Chains A and B, each alone.
Chain A
Amino acid sequence: MGRYIPETVKEQEEMLKEIGLKSTDDLYSMVPEAARLKDLDIPSGKSEYEVFKDMKALADKNTVYSSIFRGAGVYQHYIPSIVKTITSKEEFLTAYTPYQAEISQGVLQSIFEYQTQICELTGLDVSNASVYDGAVAAAEAVFMTLDRNRNEFLVTETINPEVLTVIKTYCESRDVRLTMVNSKDHKTDIEDLKKKINEKTAGFYVESPNFYGLIEDVEDMAVIMHENKALIVEGCNPISLALYKTPGEMGVDIAVGEGQQLGLPMAFGGPYLGFMTCRKELMRKLPGRIVGETTDHEGRRACVLTLQAREQHIRREKASSNICSNEALCAMTASVYLAAMGPEGLRNVALSSYNNAHYLEEELAKIGFKRTDKGEYYNEFLTDSPVDASVLENKLTEKGVLSGLNVEGKILWCATELNGKDKIDELINAIKEVL
């Protein structure tokens, strides 16, 4: 068995003796007999070597595809080596939430830098230190829009279904009435949005690019929401923001999104991070940790957790959210990634993804997989499938390729900067063999 306790059993006995006890069991004398566990029914411990071997065997049972044409909320990108090198530093990895600012400037400053970068990406004023993932960020944003008179919320049908389920769960527990806004050809139907707003509507959530990859008319929607004294929340793709109009430029009040693309591996769903930014008027409604800059008594620059009057450890049942841990190390990862890529590098990732996806669309069309939607899209699009989508998936898996996602009998394809011409041509040849 492996153990991480420094002392031998004999040394532990000496410690027990010093505090006047005979055995460790004496420390548990107050536990009622009926509640005591006689035997913990799990296997005995193993050496580090054996555990590694067993866990490696589990990892090897998973298929690591040589190319991936599936996104739908989670994307494979290139992660520079420097990102992992920096974020594996033991100080960052093993520290707790930076309550003691004097010995936590490293973590605090990195969050301050992260907040700055997220504000830059989204064009909004204030960012928190991250939340659990993009879906939770969206759900928390819904709560930010509510007030005493407005407790209804609108969500577009073109939303990522995983995000929708999380928003629904969060809203149900707080008795927020959720109404879906219809879509036409996989874009939000603005006429339906107008129809569904009323004096109780607190806000509206829309993603751009949306689940089907399409760019939504967010600017027009923002105008409609504001005319009705309600707020607009945009779910964004952080890489695409290097290229497309920012939420800030489009009049959005709160921008949220999944930060996985910023230097984190797909990792079967996590850990990821949700980013949240808003206009400064909404600052005190923003949930979660926020880092601010101040000075110490000698006037030196210092970063601290701030605006804590919103938080659970001060306000208890009156807190704006229950969030305590966030995803600090993931936020640092995002920050290192953005710093490594720089403005041009990030724009290049976005443009490559855009071009690869459009080339993929053209090549797929030539072999009978026609795009089914119209309008501007970023790096994902739907096509018809001349063969059964699940048959195609299986056949391509045999060739080490993960196909697009089967959505309503169609296929949602995705390309990032990692799906260049060679990968796409390979895919097309592989599909031809299947057909």
Chain B
Amino acid sequence: MKLLFERSVSGRGMNYLPKADTGNRMPDEKYLRKSRLHLPEISEVDLGRHYTELAKQTHGVNDGFYPLGSCTMKYNPRINEEIASLEGFTQIHPLQPAESVQGAMEVLYKTEELLCRITGMDALTFEPAAGAHGEYTGLLLIRKYHQERGDSERNVIIVPDSAHGTNPASAVMAGFKVVNIPSNENGGVDLEALRNAVGKDTAGLMLTNPNTLGLFDPNILEITKIIHEAGGLCYYDGANLNAIMGRVRPGDMGFDCVHLNLHKTFATPHGGGGPGSGPVGCKEFLRKYLPCHMVEKKGGSYVFSDPEKSLGQVRTYYGNFLVVVKALSYILTLGKEGIREASGKAVLNANYMMHRLKDHYHVAYDQTCMHEFVLCLEDLKKETGVSAMDIAKGSLDYGIHPPTMYFPLIVHEALMFEPTETESREVIDEAVKIYLDLFEKAHDDPEYLHGAPHHCPIGRPDETKAAREPVLKYSFDE
């Protein structure tokens, strides 16, 4: 469809602001911009329609089932949006005097307290703006901890081969080397391999439990013990917390620090890829290394303070504040019973869906799963030539957002489903029916699926061309 720039007509547009009433000064000629600024010149009605058309070509949670594994695409309650747009939250400057932002500081303080109780941690920072940013922050905490103890030889982070790609990337950014360890036949951490991997250079372990196969590792207490005995710390990747919140806490599994994805577990919207929020919690002994600008309560009021040996800052101010506001509203709404019911239903939905698919599709690890499960389509591909990608693209024609494809890397032709707790049985039943139809179609008419989708705004894009001859902006004629 047309780009904004192709709708532009010279001289069109709205005047949203008056001219200045304080004079007609201009900076000296030598400072001025010479090149023409090509921004769209467009009427408000055309601008509105442009984005309405773009919205029609976007699938959000409210457009239909969104079982994208490891992304927790649950319903985003509308009230949280309304609360986050209150003037008292949006129209405050981050550098206002503390006395004038006591309500905002209370939001941070309260949410910290609640999330600490949910995770079993003692302190938490909201500075990181996303999950990967939280990972980076948590790893800096680990780095700082070893440095401060004079234990500078510890430069290795152990990561299982089923981990999210951000884990090893974050470890390298934080100045560590990465050692990958294999999974065992049940999809968990291979304890023998872990024992062999630890040593004097072990700084820590990054683990998500349940892992990316959707499996809870029953050896978790042994795993964290092995790391601690080797002198390392345990980092919990909270991407999959939705499966266990209110039932198991990272702190009780032996983890020393954790990041959460408020945009997954705590129902804040993903916004097409952000803004998220990736707060990092830690045990008491790590508190003194947390980023600056922590909120404390002194007397009857809230104050900012920098931890004694703070690692510095990973973002300005206090992180994505409005996202925290939404998460707090969500936690207050659900409360202790609701949090527990949400995780239980998320796990129930995943098991129910897996149960209904497994007579036809091969489940990678056939055991009780947590909030997500992984199908392996290797056999289907051998038999019919139809790949995981083809099935995923086929589901687009039915108005379903595909599951996560080709991840985790240790399962071939993987499709990873996370239905989340807010989908009803009817929605899951309908999706199951569609996936069974696609299974049949794979046998009857594989060509059709190779060409899918057939009813979307576009067909499969040429990604090779996009990468080989990159066109990364619109070219104006002059």
- Residues in A with CB closer than 8 Å to B393 are 102
**Distance to closest chain B CB from A238 (angstroms):** 11
The 8 A CB mask of B270-312 against A (1 = contact, 0 = none) is 1111111000000000000001100000000000000000011
Please report the C-alpha to C-alpha distance between residue A120 and residue B229 in the assembled complex, in whole angstroms.
56
B89 close to A (CB within 8 Å): yes
User: Which of B79, B319, B336 interacts with A43 by CB under 8 Å?
Assistant: B336
CB atoms of B355 and A7 under 8 A apart: no
CB atoms of A271 and B320 under 8 A apart: yes
* Interface pairs A-B: 8 shortest CB-CB: A45-B335, A59-B88, A61-B103, A269-B317, A329-B271, A106-B58, A169-B312, A271-B275
Which size bracket describes the interface of A in this complex? 35 or more
B382 close to A (CB within 8 Å): no
**Distance to closest chain B CB from A53 (angstroms):** 10
Which residue in chain A gives the minimum CB-CB distance to B278?
A: A325
- Residues in A with CB closer than 8 Å to B88 are 56, 58-62, 64
B61 close to A (CB within 8 Å): yes
**Distance to closest chain A CB from B7 (angstroms):** 9
With contacts A30-B216, A120-B38 taken as known, whether A102 is within 8 angstroms of B460 at the C-beta atoms is yes
Instruction: Tell me which of A117, A273, A316, A421 has the highest count of chain B C-beta atoms within 10 A of its own C-beta.
Output: A316
With contacts A135-B316, A340-B16, A355-B25 taken as known, whether A62 is within 8 angstroms of B100 at the C-beta atoms is yes
CB atoms of B101 and A63 under 8 A apart: yes
B73 close to A (CB within 8 Å): yes
CB atoms of A78 and B17 under 8 A apart: yes
Which residue in chain A gives the minimum CB-CB distance to B263?
A: A325
CB atoms of B317 and A295 under 8 A apart: no
- Residues in B with CB closer than 8 Å to A41 are 117, 336
CB atoms of B460 and A91 under 8 A apart: no
User: Which of A78, A90, A100 interacts with B16 by CB under 8 Å?
Assistant: A78
The 8 A CB mask of A9-40 against B (1 = contact, 0 = none) is 00110011011010010011111101111011
**Distance to closest chain B CB from A418 (angstroms):** 9
Task: List which A393-410 residues lie within 8 A (CB) of chain B.
Answer: 393-394, 397, 402, 405
A369 close to B (CB within 8 Å): no
Identify the stretch in A148-156, A188-196, A198-206, A342-350 within 8 Å (CB) of chain B at 4 or more residues. A342-350
Q: A46-B335, A103-B457 are in contact. List 6 more A-B contacts (CB 8 A).
A: A24-B345, A134-B316, A270-B320, A293-B472, A323-B132, A355-B24
Identify the stretch in B189-197, B247-255, B373-381, B440-448 within 8 Å (CB) of chain A at 4 or more residues. B247-255
A382 close to B (CB within 8 Å): no
A417 close to B (CB within 8 Å): yes
Task: List which A196-228 residues lie within 8 A (CB) of chain B.
Answer: 215
CB atoms of B461 and A302 under 8 A apart: yes
Identify the stretch in A158-166, A179-187, A427-435 within 8 Å (CB) of chain B at 4 or more residues. A158-166
A115 close to B (CB within 8 Å): yes
Task: List which B458-478 residues lie within 8 A (CB) of chain A.
Answer: 458-463, 465-467, 470-474
- Residues in A with CB closer than 8 Å to B270 are 94-97, 325
Task: List which A307-334 residues lie within 8 A (CB) of chain B.
Answer: 307-309, 311-319, 321-330, 332
Please report the C-alpha to C-alpha distance between residue A49 and residue B206 in the assembled complex, in whole angstroms.
40
With contacts A42-B117, A269-B321, A270-B319 taken as known, whether A327 is within 8 angstroms of B348 at the C-beta atoms is no
- Residues in A with CB closer than 8 Å to B74 are 4
User: Which of B73, B173, B273 interacts with A289 by CB under 8 Å?
Assistant: B273
Q: How many residues of B contact A (CB 8 A)?
A: 194
B129 close to A (CB within 8 Å): yes
With contacts A313-B165, A354-B25 taken as known, whether A271 is within 8 angstroms of B322 at the C-beta atoms is yes
CB atoms of B165 and A316 under 8 A apart: yes
Which residue in chain B gives the minimum CB-CB distance to A139?
A: B314
User: Which of B83, B95, B423, B463 interacts with A304 by CB under 8 Å?
Assistant: B463
Please report the C-alpha to C-alpha distance between residue A248 and residue B311 in the assembled complex, in whole angstroms.
35
CB atoms of A85 and B41 under 8 A apart: no
User: Which of B37, B247, B348 interacts with A121 by CB under 8 Å?
Assistant: B37
Which residue in chain B gives the minimum CB-CB distance to A294?
A: B466
**Distance to closest chain A CB from B175 (angstroms):** 4
- Residues in B with CB closer than 8 Å to A27 are 344, 347-348, 351, 368, 370
**Distance to closest chain A CB from B158 (angstroms):** 12
Task: List which A92-137 residues lie within 8 A (CB) of chain B.
Answer: 92-107, 109-110, 112-113, 115-117, 119-121, 123, 125-127, 129-130, 132-136
CB atoms of A89 and B456 under 8 A apart: no
**Distance to closest chain A CB from B291 (angstroms):** 8
Please report the C-alpha to C-alpha distance between residue A127 and residue B472 in the assembled complex, in whole angstroms.
8
CB atoms of A397 and B100 under 8 A apart: yes
Which residue in chain B gives the minimum CB-CB distance to A298?
A: B459
B130 close to A (CB within 8 Å): yes
Give 19 pairs: A residue, B residue, CB < 8 Å, sorted on A. Answer: A35-B253, A40-B339, A42-B117, A52-B83, A54-B332, A55-B83, A62-B102, A90-B60, A96-B270, A106-B53, A113-B4, A166-B314, A268-B92, A289-B273, A294-B466, A322-B136, A342-B39, A356-B20, A356-B22
